[in-house]
Amino acid sequence: MITKAKLIPFSKYEEALQAVNVTPNFFVSERYWLAAGWVCTQEADLMIVRDEEGLQVLPSIGPKGLVEGLAWSDFPGYVGIGMLSFLDYQFIYDPASFSDLSGGSRAVFRKNVRRFDRDHTEWEYRRPVSCEEMIQLLGEWLQEGEEVYGLETILAYLEACSGDESRVLTIGGKPVAMTAWDSNWAYINFRYCFADRSVKYSSEFVRLQFYLDMISRHKGKTVNDGGALGNLELMRFKNKMGPVRVDSIYSWKETKDG
């Protein structure tokens, strides 16, 4: 239970990060905070972000900038206290680079999107009809017994989806993939990408459409495509997509003695 704390809006924390030129991580997003149930409070002279269970999830910010302390997910270059453990990577991409898929590292990706385009001429990358449409599609595409990291947060996020920041890929009117994203002052956060696995290469193709869309939508802004969640196949895939930078994100936890 948080006591003697004043709730403050996400924008205050984001503005404080920007003021001291801190590179944000994948979790700096108001839409994500709302879906995950995170709150930011002002406690004395510190801004502290916690989850629903009271766990501090991001580094605290004081009048002079970031404060050394505990955090479930830190920022690139942050030095905290306690026990350090690797959390995940975050892959940063330049959307403009996806207008030209030449090069050896993207060879497989290039072939797969071309195969999709060859086999499906009547495709459309459109706004979702509703939030309910996206939730229904996710339910249809998940395999029986499949475990999805943060499913409750995903559902809450999609329930409050914005037609301006989500798209559905269709073939002849039938949805086969979807994307959802949000942003902060530094990045576009490529939040979710789901696809019907029975439709070959739909995941790669919708990912390409997302990046091409971002070129005109957010000119000059890079994309934070999140991490790999310990999935080696996903990590290899994202490395071959040509990131401009890959950051390592860590957790700072209390020591066993503390």
**The pLDDT of residue 1:** 45
Each residue of 120-139: pLDDT tens digit? 989 999 999 999 999 999 99
Contact criterion met (CB below 8 Å) for 38 and 28: no
103 Cβ neighbours under 8 A, 6+ residues apart: 242
At 147 the pLDDT is 76
What is the per-residue pLDDT for 257? 60
Please check the confidence at residue 258 and state whether its pLDDT lies above 60: no
Q: Is the pLDDT of residue 232 over 70?
A: yes
Can you tell me whether residue 51 is helix, strand or coil? coil
Angstrom distance (rounded) from CA 145 to CA 232: 21
Query: Can you state the angle between helices 202-217 and 107-119, rounded to 10 degrees?
Result: 100
- DSSP notation for 176-230: EEEEEEEE-SSEEEEEEEEE-TTSTTHHHHHHHHHHHHHHHHTTT-EEE----TT
- pLDDT of res. 34: 95
Q: What is the pLDDT of residues 51-90, one digit of tens each?
A: 999 999 999 999 999 999 999 999 999 999 999 999 999 9
Percent of the chain clearing pLDDT 70 (strictly above): 97
The DSSP output letter for 249 is E
The pLDDT of residue 2 is above 80 = no
Q: What is the pLDDT of residues 157-195, one digit of tens each?
A: 999 887 889 999 999 999 999 999 999 999 999 999 999
* Structural domains for the chain: 6-87 (no CATH), 91-248 (3.40.630.30)
Burial (CB < 10 A; 0-12, 13-18, 19+), residue 115, is: middle
Distance CA 165, CA 210 (A): 10
